[in-house]
A and B are shown apart, each in its own frame.
Chain A
Amino acid sequence: MVAMSAGIDLENVTCDFGPFRAVDAANVSIKPGEFFSFLGPSGCGKTTILRMISGFIEPTAGSIRIGGKDMRGQRPNQRPTALIFQNLALFPLMPIWENIAFGLEVRGVDKATRRKTAEDLLALVDLPDAADKMVSQLSGGQKQRVAIARALAVEPQVMLLDEPLSALDLKLRQHMRAELRAIQKRTGVTFIYITHDQGEALAMSDRVGVMSQGRIQQIADPRDIYNSPINGFVASFVGENNIFTGKVENPSQGMASFSTPHGTFRARLGDVGSGGVQARLYVRPEHTLLMAAPGPENSIPVTVAEVSFEGNFVAVHAVSDSGAKLMAEVRNDGSATLPAVGDRMHMAFDAGRAAILPDAATKG
């Protein structure tokens, strides 16, 4: 089954609920067949974007195009999209196969064909014998698959998924990630995925749009989102950080000095505006090195405050002599000796692994 897939363009899409601006001038171009995620905390506007694309909410301003066609005034039942709801919204009074074939029934497809299509789709989502069961007889993961099959049945050009894995337990969630990705590759349909779980977004997506307070903060592939966040919000929402507040000095060739009460560090300079401004320095715990002797650059003397053994890594919390709280994640390669609480050590980081970033872009 190869369905047509379509690209989606949002152009200055804005949505107001009374005085509250839920989405503020969103611009994004999603390619046909792409797996695109909107990632952000609850209330950031990501679900509103999804509901605008599916047609349940009209944008206050701006335009949405699907496959190049302007969607203004098109009801959800006229759009080439299929939405998978957070609670799945399966129809509990219909057997599974009627659930899946509902979209075909609406289109006037005859019963034998509907049944055949439903069974084919059940095979696709790996649930071959469920056709005559009722929704209440299925487990969470099976319902998930039925919801996907029901959406695929109408051969949508775009699939919209609203945190569909949030109700599942951890193991199943990780399994379904891979499953969803595989189904997306098999069908070639454009997937737009909404989540507040950074792991989900990074693991599945071709590209991720990180949102906060109605604004799209950064659109990039998962590696760039994690390794080169554009601002402080993206850096701290996606992953952990050691954060220093200070002043930018001597910017040159993308690097700068950063003077803080805990010392002066060298780091990559993000888009913080002209020199001398207040900004923050972000460095990931796994890029923070723990050493017995002072490092060549960006080194801080610390006292180990807490050591927590997490299995595949060890998180070392420490307090610097100047009072800064820092964390370093040390990979557990099986041979390393763990520091003890109270040990005097040094934490350091590469200038290239640390970034001086502005705070989040807010409503303008």
Chain B
Amino acid sequence: MRDLIRRYGTGLSTIICLLTAFWLVMLVIVPNMTLFEQSFRPYLPVAEIGGPRDVYSLSNYGKVLEGSVERSLFGIGFTIPVRVLTFTLTIWYSIVVTVICFLLAYPLAYYMAKIANPRALPTLILLLFVPLWVSEVLRAFAWWIILALKGPLNSLLLFIGAIEKPVRWIADYDAVMIGLVYTYVLFMIFPIYNAISSLDRNQIEAAEDLGAPWWRIHWRIVLPHAKPGIASGSVIVFMLSAGSLLVPSVLKSPNSQWFTETINETFNDALDWNTASAYAFLLLILCTLFVTLAMWVFRVKLSDIAK
């Protein structure tokens, strides 16, 4: 603080602090606290707000358990509340997206960090970034066109003879996952790239000199070293995927439902902000719990990720 004043003077320092405080309080804390407070109150006609029925309860959170559907997994039938099912599938497919992103990002990040010619690196990174210049909406729609039943992807695959009849890509969660992977894979590449860049090449050579084949060098030397990068990439991709609204709504199929869509429908279609707030906080809390659990399982510390 004293440093700030010495560097920018009292006037400018005050402005910087006030702007930061405004951003934090008005744009983050107040809206979230408002929604949090609302989530405990019932959805009432305007006239009754503040009346005798407007009391705090957990009933909005309880609504997530209403309305059961039948499903079967591995041949075992069971009934499950529909929103719990949506939530579970959202988490599950976000995990799948995270794993696919890792499988794509790790070899590429390793190539960029240790194999590619350093002079070619700026071009490579630029090529990775170019798609980010296009808005997320356009990219999602582009995939919707590419994956359409009579779209370019099927035409190409039919032409080279890889498939015999068009594949319905936009079915179940397939297109959603493709879209999410495409949108968020960069958030996996760069943390891993940074982590692998800091690995001393002599370590790789020492392992090879001691007789290790390539896969063991990766398993014992590169992967453990890259673990903090993998962890932060995974947390980012998982949280962004589970919280994404645009990609799941553009690339959805008749039987895909993302939990954010449920929240959005409750906000905008049912206009029930109280229940929607409760769902939103459930998503936030449960995702945070899940990430914490995953970090505990993989023995990653928060300080590793912050590196």
A residues engaging B (CB < 8 A)? 54-56, 75-77, 81-83, 85, 87, 89-91, 93-94, 102-103, 105-107, 150-151, 154
Contact with A along B219-259 (1 / 0, CB 8 A): 01100110000000000000000000000000000000000
10 closest pairs, A vs B, by CB?
A89-B202, A103-B210, A89-B206, A106-B211, A77-B211, A106-B212, A76-B209, A83-B209, A85-B202, A93-B224
- B212:A102 contact, CB within 8 angstroms: yes
> From residue B299, how far is it (CB to closest CB) to chain A in Å?
12
Per the 8 Å Cβ criterion, residues 158-198 of B in contact with A are none
Task: List 26 contacting pairs A-B, 8 Å CB cutoff, sorted by A.
Answer: A55-B209, A56-B205, A77-B208, A77-B210, A82-B209, A83-B205, A83-B206, A85-B202, A85-B205, A85-B206, A87-B200, A87-B202, A89-B202, A89-B203, A89-B206, A91-B207, A93-B224, A102-B207, A102-B210, A103-B210, A103-B211, A106-B211, A106-B216, A107-B211, A150-B210, A154-B210
User: Could you tell me the distance between the alpha carbons of A54 and B205 in the complex, rounded to whole angstroms?
Assistant: 10
Decide if the interface of chain B is mainly helix, strand, loop or mixed: helix
- A54:B209 contact, CB within 8 angstroms: yes
- B209:A91 contact, CB within 8 angstroms: no
Task: State the total of A-B contacts with C-beta under 8 angstroms.
Answer: 56
> From residue A91, how far is it (CB to closest CB) to chain B in Å?
6
- In this complex, the member of B207, B211, B212, B221 whose beta carbon has the largest number of chain A beta carbons within 10 angstroms is B211
> From residue B220, how far is it (CB to closest CB) to chain A in Å?
7
- A75:B208 contact, CB within 8 angstroms: yes
Q: CB < 8 Å: which of A76, A94, A107, A150 contacts B205?
A: A76
- A89:B205 contact, CB within 8 angstroms: yes
User: Could you tell me the distance between the alpha carbons of A276 and B207 in the complex, rounded to whole angstroms?
Assistant: 57
- A77:B212 contact, CB within 8 angstroms: yes
| B213 at the A interface (CB under 8 A) | yes
Residues from chain B with a CB closer than 8 A to the CB of A90 are 206
> From residue B195, how far is it (CB to closest CB) to chain A in Å?
12
Q: CB < 8 Å: which of A54, A85, A154 contacts B211?
A: A154
- A106:B210 contact, CB within 8 angstroms: yes
* Contacts beyond the supplied A76-B209, A106-B216: 19 A-B pairs with Cβ under 8 Å: A54-B209, A75-B208, A77-B209, A77-B210, A77-B211, A82-B210, A83-B206, A85-B202, A85-B205, A85-B206, A89-B200, A89-B202, A89-B206, A90-B206, A93-B224, A103-B210, A103-B211, A105-B220, A151-B210
User: Could you tell me the distance between the alpha carbons of A271 and B149 in the complex, rounded to whole angstroms?
Assistant: 85
User: Could you tell me the distance between the alpha carbons of A54 and B208 in the complex, rounded to whole angstroms?
Assistant: 10
Residues from chain A with a CB closer than 8 A to the CB of B207 are 91, 102
> From residue A352, how far is it (CB to closest CB) to chain B in Å?
47
User: Could you tell me the distance between the alpha carbons of A75 and B211 in the complex, rounded to whole angstroms?
Assistant: 9
- B205:A102 contact, CB within 8 angstroms: no
Given known contacts A77-B211, A83-B209, A102 and B220 CB-to-CB distance under 8 angstroms: yes
- In this complex, the member of B206, B213, B224 whose beta carbon has the largest number of chain A beta carbons within 10 angstroms is B206
Residues from chain A with a CB closer than 8 A to the CB of B211 are 77, 103, 106-107, 154
User: Could you tell me the distance between the alpha carbons of A89 and B204 in the complex, rounded to whole angstroms?
Assistant: 9
User: Could you tell me the distance between the alpha carbons of A91 and B212 in the complex, rounded to whole angstroms?
Assistant: 13
User: Could you tell me the distance between the alpha carbons of A73 and B208 in the complex, rounded to whole angstroms?
Assistant: 15
- A76:B208 contact, CB within 8 angstroms: yes
Taking CB as reference atom, which chain A residue is nearest B205? Answer: A56
Residues from chain B with a CB closer than 8 A to the CB of A77 are 208-213
Residues from chain A with a CB closer than 8 A to the CB of B209 are 54-56, 76-77, 81-83
Residues from chain A with a CB closer than 8 A to the CB of B206 are 83, 85, 89-91
Residues from chain B with a CB closer than 8 A to the CB of A54 are 209
> From residue A48, how far is it (CB to closest CB) to chain B in Å?
14
User: Could you tell me the distance between the alpha carbons of A130 and B224 in the complex, rounded to whole angstroms?
Assistant: 22
- A91:B221 contact, CB within 8 angstroms: yes
Residues from chain B with a CB closer than 8 A to the CB of A82 are 209-210
> From residue A27, how far is it (CB to closest CB) to chain B in Å?
25
User: Could you tell me the distance between the alpha carbons of A93 and B225 in the complex, rounded to whole angstroms?
Assistant: 8
Per the 8 Å Cβ criterion, residues 93-131 of B in contact with A are none
Taking CB as reference atom, which chain B residue is nearest A147? Answer: B206
User: Could you tell me the distance between the alpha carbons of A209 and B220 in the complex, rounded to whole angstroms?
Assistant: 37
Residues from chain B with a CB closer than 8 A to the CB of A76 are 205, 208-209
Taking CB as reference atom, which chain B residue is nearest A103? Answer: B210
> From residue B307, how far is it (CB to closest CB) to chain A in Å?
14
Taking CB as reference atom, which chain B residue is nearest A94? Answer: B220
User: Could you tell me the distance between the alpha carbons of A93 and B220 in the complex, rounded to whole angstroms?
Assistant: 9
Residues from chain A with a CB closer than 8 A to the CB of B225 are 93
User: Could you tell me the distance between the alpha carbons of A304 and B225 in the complex, rounded to whole angstroms?
Assistant: 61
User: Could you tell me the distance between the alpha carbons of A91 and B208 in the complex, rounded to whole angstroms?
Assistant: 13
Residues from chain B with a CB closer than 8 A to the CB of A105 are 220
User: Could you tell me the distance between the alpha carbons of A77 and B202 in the complex, rounded to whole angstroms?
Assistant: 14
User: Could you tell me the distance between the alpha carbons of A91 and B206 in the complex, rounded to whole angstroms?
Assistant: 9
User: Could you tell me the distance between the alpha carbons of A55 and B207 in the complex, rounded to whole angstroms?
Assistant: 13
